[in-house]
């Protein structure tokens, strides 16, 4: 039985709760059906465990922003908690340890050059490898899955480990194992090396020094989960957004050409793009934001948990209840977008053709647990899209049939594997 004044929801069955109401392959459509029936806040039971679904910009903001602390916890009794032991940042519960680790990750990203030129240079340097890969594929069919994954993985690997990996190198897959080896190295002579320039120390070493501080909540044991956390969070998200984005750019050649015209105009006479150029590229900015909206990369955010008894939208939610911010529902919410369905960069342009960001643009979630990699992700999406579109034309192969936009469901959504054709453009 639902507690008093708990959000409404479908009848529960013994043992199963509401599991029978959900498709295990892709429950997103079931969640949408339940939203239409019960409203923007409803509850479900996963077995005997209650959870509250928040839909639409109003409910999500009221909870995650206005009642920030109450909704900043993470469930600690799920299967993934057993495998990761809730170490790292993403799954750590609200409290001093999470705070220290989050602050540390933000600081390392900043010291490593985010917001400065050095991070841009690293991204642009990585893009030379991507470009070389693309050039070698001219005239052939190319599967971009691995390519985007490698590029975004290498960018975050530079922050984490201070190195990149060759494309097609099996080491890429073994990165976590290599990290353990690196940690061993750091235990040896590395620890004695005096590093004066703290601004360029990869996270792994910066953290190692923290491990030696007896007052710190860092330990070598936490270290591996922490890097795994950031590696996963920084790779899968960006690459899946790009995969979806380039799929739509290929199947909307008019939009791709309009981006290229703007890029050619703004970058005329320059050899490379920089992040500042975005202010002169309202159309490209709109397209990249529309890519993120339609990609809906982390549809159900990361699950939250209430840290106290609380209320939202007039309902009572006890402490320790799992809460799912349904970001998918916001990114296509009726009334919030000029075009909630389909791929329309106009969602981010006003009548004067200027770039605008509606309140419902929330792919990184909101509140204190909001994505801490947003700055890096936005820089990557911009520099990768602009650099590649400037140099190449991306073509949907004529014999590939109708594109299938239905995503494959998971913590992150990814498009079904597809092929692309690439042509070199004339540089302007």
> Residue 151 in contact with residue 384, Cβ under 8 Å?
yes
Report 287-326 residues binding ligand HEM (CB under 6 A): 297-298, 301-302, 325
Q: How far is the CB of 282 from ligand HEM (least distance, A)?
A: 20
Residue 244 C-beta: closest distance to ligand HEM, Å: 10
The nearer residue to ligand HEM, 12 or 239, going by C-beta atoms, is 239
SS3 letters for the chain? Answer: CCCCCCCCCCCCECCCECHHHCCCCCCHHHHHHHHHHHCCEEEEEECCEEEEEEEHHHHHHHHHHHCCCCCCECCCCCHHHHHHCCCCCCCCCCCHHHHHHHHHHHHHHHHCCCCCHHHHHHHHHHHHHHHHHHHCCCCCCECHHHHHHHHHHHHHHHHHCCCCCCCCCHHHCCHHHHHHHHHHHHHCHHHHCCCCCHHHCCHHHHHHHHHCCCCCCCCHHHHHHHHHHHHHHHHHHHHHHHHHHHHHHHHCHHHHHHHHHHHHHHHCCCCCCCHHHHHHCHHHHHHHHHHHHHHCCCCCCCCEECCCCEEECCEEECCCCEEEEEHHHHHCCCCCCCCCCCCCHHHHECCCCCECCCCCCCCCCCCCCCCCCHHHHHHHHHHHHHHHHHHEEEECCHHHCCCCCCEECCCCCEECCCCEEEEECCCC
* Cα atoms in the Cβ-side hemisphere of radius 13 Å centred on 70: 17
Query: Contact with ligand HEM (CB under 6 A): which of 151, 228, 312, 372?
Result: 372
Verify binding: residue 90, ligand HEM, rule CB under 6 A.
yes
Is residue 97 classed exposed, middle or buried when 0-12, 13-18 and 19+ CB atoms within 10 A define those classes?
middle
The nearer residue to ligand HEM, 17 or 373, going by C-beta atoms, is: 373
Specify the residue, 41 or 105, whose C-beta has the smaller distance to ligand HEM.
Answer: 105
Does 102 engage in binding with ligand HEM (CB under 6 A)? Answer: yes
Stretch that binds ligand HEM, among 131-139, 265-273, 275-283, 372-380 (CB under 6 A): 372-380
Which residue number, 60 or 267, has a Cβ lying nearer to ligand HEM?
60
Exactly one of 165, 364, 382, 392 binds ligand HEM (CB under 6 A); that residue is 364
User: Binding residue per annotation — 259?
Assistant: no
C-alpha–C-alpha distance, residues 22 and 32, integer Å: 11
**CB of 146 or CB of 370, closer to ligand HEM:** 370
Q: Which of 306, 365, 387, 414 binds ligand HEM (CB under 6 A)?
A: 365
The answer to whether residue 396 forms part of the interface with ligand HEM (CB under 6 A) is no
Q: Which of 264, 202, 188 is nearest to 230 (CA)?
A: 202
Site membership for ligand HEM, residue 202 (CB under 6 A): no
By rule CB under 6 A, what string of x and - marks binding of each residue 145-164 to ligand HEM? -----------x--------
Q: How far is the CB of 269 from ligand HEM (least distance, A)?
A: 31
Out of 60, 89, 172, 383, the residue judged to bind ligand HEM by CB under 6 A: 89
Region near ligand HEM per CB under 6 A, out of 23-31, 246-254, 260-268, 370-378: 370-378
Q: Which of residues 50 and 245 has its CB atom nearest to ligand HEM in the complex?
A: 245
State which of residues 87, 344, 369, 391 lies at the interface with ligand HEM (CB under 6 A).
369
- b (16+ CB within 10 A) / e for 159-178: bbbeebbebeeeebeebeeb
The binding track of 344-363 with respect to ligand HEM, each residue x by CB under 6 A or -, is: -------------------x
Least separation in angstroms between CB 114 and ligand HEM: 9
Binding status of residue 393 toward ligand HEM by CB under 6 A: no
Site for ligand HEM in 258-287 (CB under 6 A): none
**Residues between 205 and 264 that touch ligand HEM (CB under 6 A):** 229-230, 233-234, 237-238, 241
> Which residue's beta carbon is nearest to the bound ligand HEM?
373
Question: Could you tell me which residues are annotated as the binding site?
Answer: 371
Question: Could you tell me which residues are annotated as the binding site for heme?
Answer: 371
Residues that bind ligand HEM in the complex, under the rule CB under 6 A: 89-90, 102, 105, 156, 229-230, 233-234, 237-238, 241, 297-298, 301-302, 325, 363-365, 369-373, 376-377
């Amino acid at each position: 039985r639902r507690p008093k004044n708990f959000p409404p929801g479908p009848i529960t069955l013994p043992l199963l709760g509401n599991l029978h109401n959900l498709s295990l392959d892709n429950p997103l459509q079931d969640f949408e059906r339940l939203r239409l029936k019960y409203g923007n806040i409803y509850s479900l039971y996963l077995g005997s465990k209650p959870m509250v679904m928040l839909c639409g910009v109003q409910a999500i903001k009221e909870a995650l922003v206005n009642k920030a602390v109450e909704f900043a916890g993470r469930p600690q009794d799920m299967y993934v908690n057993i495998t990761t032991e809730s170490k790292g940042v993403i799954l750590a519960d609200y409290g001093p340890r999470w705070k220290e680790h989050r602050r540390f990750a933000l600081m390392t990203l900043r010291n490593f050059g985010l917001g400065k030129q050095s991070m841009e240079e690293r991204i642009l340097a990585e893009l030379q490898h991507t470009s070389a890969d693309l050039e070698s594929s001219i005239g052939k069919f190319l599967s971009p899955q691995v390519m985007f994954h490698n590029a975004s993985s290498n960018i975050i690997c530079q922050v984490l480990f201070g190195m990149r990996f060759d494309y097609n190198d099996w080491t890429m897959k073994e990165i976590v194992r290599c990290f353990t080896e690196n940690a061993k190295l750091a235990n040896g002579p590395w620890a004695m090396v005096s590093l004066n320039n703290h601004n360029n120390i990869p996270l792994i070493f910066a953290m190692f020094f923290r491990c030696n501080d007896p007052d710190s909540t860092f330990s070598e044991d936490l270290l591996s989960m922490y890097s795994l956390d950031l590696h996963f969070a920084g790779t899968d998200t960006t690459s899946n957004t790009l995969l979806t984005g380039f799929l739509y750019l290929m199947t909307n050649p008019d939009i791709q050409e309009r981006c290229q015209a703007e890029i050619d105009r703004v970058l005329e006479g320059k050899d490379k793009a920089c992040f500042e150029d975005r202010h002169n590229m309202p159309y490209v900015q709109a397209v990249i934001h529309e890519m993120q909206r339609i990609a809906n990369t982390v549809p159900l955010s990361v699950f939250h948990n209430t840290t106290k008894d609380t209320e939202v939208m007039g309902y009572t939610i006890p402490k320790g209840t799992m809460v799912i911010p349904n970001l998918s529902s916001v990114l296509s919410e009726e009334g919030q977008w000029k075009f909630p369905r389909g791929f329309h960069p106009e969602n981010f342009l006003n009548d004067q053709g200027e770039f605008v960001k509606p309140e419902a643009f929330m792919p990184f979630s909101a509140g204190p647990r909001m994505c801490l990699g947003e700055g890096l992700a936005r820089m990557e999406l911009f520099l990768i899209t602009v650099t590649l579109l400037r140099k190449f034309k991306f073509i949907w192969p004529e014999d590939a049939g109708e594109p299938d936009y239905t995503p494959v469901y998971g913590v992150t959504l990814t498009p079904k594997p597809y092929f692309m054709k690439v042509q070199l453009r004339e540089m302007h």
